[in-house]
Structure 1
């Protein structure tokens, strides 16, 4: 696993990474940012690792449950003090703009470290760079784990992957609309059918859930393609890889990461993801979204520069519309593009898993 640097264990990059799946008494810190826009990391951890979460830290929601706060997480309590829970780690559960640590969190993080509780962060601002955090960790033996801190330095070889390893990659019309969830849900559905399918995490939330991966948005640009290629190659013993997408090829801020992923994983199949009703680019309201048709054509053209690629399905996110409106949209998109379309949040990923199996059959024949 190539994910993080830990302190005080060591200050250099550790190819074995931290055992993030070893924590089973996690407190999710979202204090002051407990909204779907900011707390998508916490929400995904509640979705996929709820058995490992003992509490959510949010002072404004004390006495409530995670279910009441986020609509997921059942009876996991919301607390305002670490003394209320027996924790082995605090996971920072937000994706705050710019990846910076909210200043009001520093006292809580220091308190956790002094109690010997590890702190795991996916922010661009690294915990290990703060001398107060380092001193607290050193005095107690706790670990600072910065998911995004890395020393990836591989350039792409352009060599083909194992022929019988099918690579399916999620791409999107924009950021933060469910590419990770779609990849993970398709992988889980394939596993339920007995297939050897594996999820490849490329962002901090996916890494926190699966325990392995690389943070592609924090890798030097020359090394994105090669680092993704190397990650895929380490996992090409599996029959099917579901590779998490990042950003959007049309996003003015994040298109470079998206392109690096496309060429690094050389997908044979793409699943296109979008959010129903969204009209502008996330974080840039003055920038309108590009049409689905143009986005799909652009993804296929650029992916196929390295490896022939085809669109196998569409995943819509209908969180802001009713079930009836979402179903009408699903039928419309399915009719327009002639491809299986579904909302994995509401209806599961079976149609997309069917599409993966169909693609494998077509490639083998």
Structure 2
């Protein structure tokens, strides 16, 4: 079901202006990282202390959990440039945190308590007021990619078609097999925790920018969505940056893995835009069918078997991803991301982050945390 198209509003006109403005084909990366106690390796709520330990750094920001720091990078011309910047930011953050915390990247912490400490910011106090203990359960860590796409009709067509690929990206990036100190039997428990809040998971198809404007206006009028910052879907059009923001991926253990995931996302967005430009009507699948694949991807990761959204034919996601990488190759080369996209093949071949965590942990959550901390600056 698509969001109904209303009459044109001032917000719709503003959105059309944002996505019509000239913009370079850049890629932006954000990742949410966990702070661990140096002795216990449990989450430690010292993000504010770490940020206060040195000069102000615009790349490093507080997030809702007090044991989380978000790295927000400026837009880059290629995925390799973004990966280099991410590696530098990780190194600088680890140096700043020395003596206070160690860093790790994954979708969830392997053994911490279900509820955690939140940062004392009015925005997060509002979250507790609205959602209570559910807000304190949001100890989840994601990798977000922003891709610049221009043209109001074009960006909506890409957004609505891209929804169908969210389970494939989630399977590639699944990196959260543990919760509450035990193996949860999932490749990623992060979606289940996130979806305790509203407006999570697979977004509705928009149809056009008027539909997005109507949704945001209804949310503001009802008080349920006080601003676009609470439009939390795994995929969204960012009205400030004028980007397609893909939020489905778990945080990755290494920069190399993040590079591979972001390269796939960026090439996929641009390939869909190319198909639209060639006059193709991009398919828009029913949300519930995508959600069926999303559940299996969260459970099985790169071992998942996903269904064709038109025929229902089931196929291993690893085969789907390999075919997708081949299809995206020429697009990635044009973007300067050929080598980065090829790294996705390595991630597919070795089973991904969840499999690595399980192999390293041997059923021990603390061993998993130690593995993640050791891998944080790998390479």
Q: What TM-score does the superposition give when structure 2 sets the normalisation length?
A: 0.28
Higher strand share: 1
RCO (CA 8 Å, sep 6+): is it higher in 1 or 2?
Answer: 2
